[in-house]
Amino acid sequence: MKEESYKKAHTLDTEDQLASFRSNFYFPQRDGKDCIYLCGNSLGLQPNTTQTFVDEELKKWREHGVEGHFTGNKPWVSYHKNTKNPLSKIVGAETHEVVAMNNLTTNLHLALSSFYQPKGKRTKILIERGAFPSDFYAVYSRIEVSGLDPKKNLIQLAPKDGSDYLSVEEIIRKIEALGDELALVMFPGIQYYTGQLFDIKRITEAAHKVGAFAGFDLAHAVGNVPMSLHTDSVDFAVWCTYKYLNSGPGGVGGLFIHENHGKNKEMPRLSGWWGHDSDSRFKMNNQINPIPNVDGWQLSNVNILSHAAHMASLKLFDEAGMENLRHKSVKLTGFMEELIVNSDVLAKQIRILTPANPDERGAQLSLFLVNHGKSIFDYLINNGVILDWREPNVIRVAPVPLYNSFADVVNFVSILEKSILNER
Ligand SMILES: *Cc1c(COP(=O)(O)O)cnc(C)c1O
């Protein structure tokens, strides 16, 4: 690694307005030093305030028992409302369009129960080939329980020969070709394997033009790139919070339902008591009256400890701001790409699967090892780098703007060079 690259990293870190946020996180340790953690796309680090937020609720439980539902400044009965404001800014929604609840796949099934209602010719769902397994299983099984054949009704769009990713034009052409047979387009915000950021606005527009709904899985997009779900007229979106949102392993998931659908009480849905009008909920009269917004999709009372951990991280996002995070993220990922592409050691050994255009990606780069295998990954792990391995030989690295530095990036690329030289 060239000396000037270290100097450049140092300059960029000095200029970084968000640099101080790093000290809000615990880094895994190796030999008494912080690991180079580039795995925030898989499990975000723990904020050092998480324990305080969780302890506050444990204390309330200890001291007040069931009364905790109605006491304190954050009563449990309405605890989920505390996350609405910060979440709405992260995904570009109105506060009454977002709710934290359940987990991602559960929320996807709840959304499908409303937005996949096959009728007549309109029975098909379009997804990308190589979709995340849980998304695939969810739509596949939803088609099955609707009494239809997934082999005929689940359409998986593959990139043209040779390309690593789909162009938005290809997606739109497919939507137009399916026309009035299409019930739903379900795409990721960011593809988990390639790191490609999809054009949510144009995909939604195209789906609506043929009379289909558009839903998005934002697992890798939320807290990574700014979005405008409301103005883009997205019908629904789901996400998890343990990746870029740092809310802890298996942490509470999220759901967006556009207000146009939220206020429609006739929308078919799987219901539970927490989605029922809160004023009459405890009258227990068994007359379904859903809350006229996303909260009407809630099933169960609020998972408080998981929400508390979520709150700790959301507070940091609120302080940092999505636009500022994105600004740093583009530089941070661009810096990593520049170091890899300009490295004599790496240029021929690594093919970057992720689009080169910053508008078509988030923080993650997916590195395809041309002549090497898992031994490279093992070398990195043994040298204090934590990242993610995917078969056949892809390393996914995500420099996260909230806690990674430009020094992390240059140190990582330097160790990556050594791992390749070590194999010669
Ligand atoms: C991480 C991830 C999930 C995880 O689903 P859970 O229900 O939270 O276990 C689902 N889909 C995608 C695309 C993901 O990246």
Whether the CB of 104 sits within 6 Å of ligand 1? yes
The minimum-distance atom of ligand 1 relative to the CA of 106 is: 7
Q: Give me the residues paired with residue 47 across strands.
A: 25
Q: How far is the CA of 105 from the centre of ligand 1 (A)?
A: 7
In a 3-state reduction of DSSP, which class is residue 369?
Answer: strand
**Environment class of 150 (CB within 10 Å of its CB; exposed 0-12, middle 13-18, buried 19+):** middle
Q: How far is the CA of 104 from the centre of ligand 1 (A)?
A: 6
Q: Ligand 1 test: best mutation among 105, 220, 222, 388, most atoms within 8 Å of CB?
A: 105
What is the pLDDT at residue 179? 98
The minimum-distance atom of ligand 1 relative to the CA of 108 is: 7
What is the pLDDT at residue 423? 83
Architecture of domain 53-318: 3-Layer(aba) Sandwich (3.40)
Which DSSP symbol is given to 190?
A: B
Q: How far is the CA of 79 from the centre of ligand 1 (A)?
A: 24
Give whole-number Cα distances, 376 to 35, 105, 275, 335, 393, in Å: 17, 33, 49, 21, 10
Q: Which residues contact 329 (CB under 8 A, 6 or more apart)?
A: 224, 225, 362, 363, 399, 400, 401
User: What is the pTM for the complete model shown?
Assistant: 0.97
What is the pLDDT at residue 77? 94
Whether the CB of 240 sits within 6 Å of ligand 1? yes
Q: How far is the CA of 268 from the centre of ligand 1 (A)?
A: 24
* CATH 3.30.360.10 for the 3-34+322-423 domain, yes or no: no
In the block, which residue shows the tokens 């996914």? 396
What is the pLDDT at residue 37? 98
Whether the CB of 217 sits within 6 Å of ligand 1? yes
Residue 392: cis peptide before it, omega within 30 degrees of 0? yes
The residue count for the chain: 424
Residues 38 and 25: their CA atoms lie apart, in Å, by: 14
Give me the DSSP letters along 48-101. TTHHHHHHHHHHHHHHHGGGGGT-SSS-GGGGGGGGHHHHHHHHT--GGGEEE-
What is the pLDDT at residue 374? 85
- The tens place of each residue's pLDDT in the chain, 424 residues long, gives 899 999 999 999 999 999 999 999 999 999 999 999 999 999 999 999 999 999 999 999 999 999 999 988 899 999 999 999 999 999 999 999 999 999 999 999 999 999 999 999 999 999 999 999 999 999 999 999 999 999 999 999 999 877 888 999 999 999 999 999 999 999 999 999 999 999 999 999 999 999 999 999 999 999 999 999 999 999 999 999 999 999 999 999 999 999 999 999 999 999 999 999 888 888 888 888 999 999 999 999 999 999 999 999 999 999 999 999 999 999 999 999 999 999 999 998 999 999 999 999 999 999 999 988 889 999 999 999 999 998 889 999 999 999 999 999 999 999 999 999 988 7
What is the pLDDT at residue 28? 97
Domain ranges across the chain: 3-34+322-423, 53-318
The minimum-distance atom of ligand 1 relative to the CA of 217 is: 13
Residue type, 21: F
Residues 370 and 347: their CA atoms lie apart, in Å, by: 10
Residue nearest to ligand 1 atom 2, measured at CA: 219
What is the pLDDT at residue 19? 98
In the block, which residue shows the tokens 């970057």? 352
Whether the CB of 252 sits within 6 Å of ligand 1? no
Q: How far is the CA of 361 from the centre of ligand 1 (A)?
A: 18
- Residue 120, token pair as written in the block: 């007549």
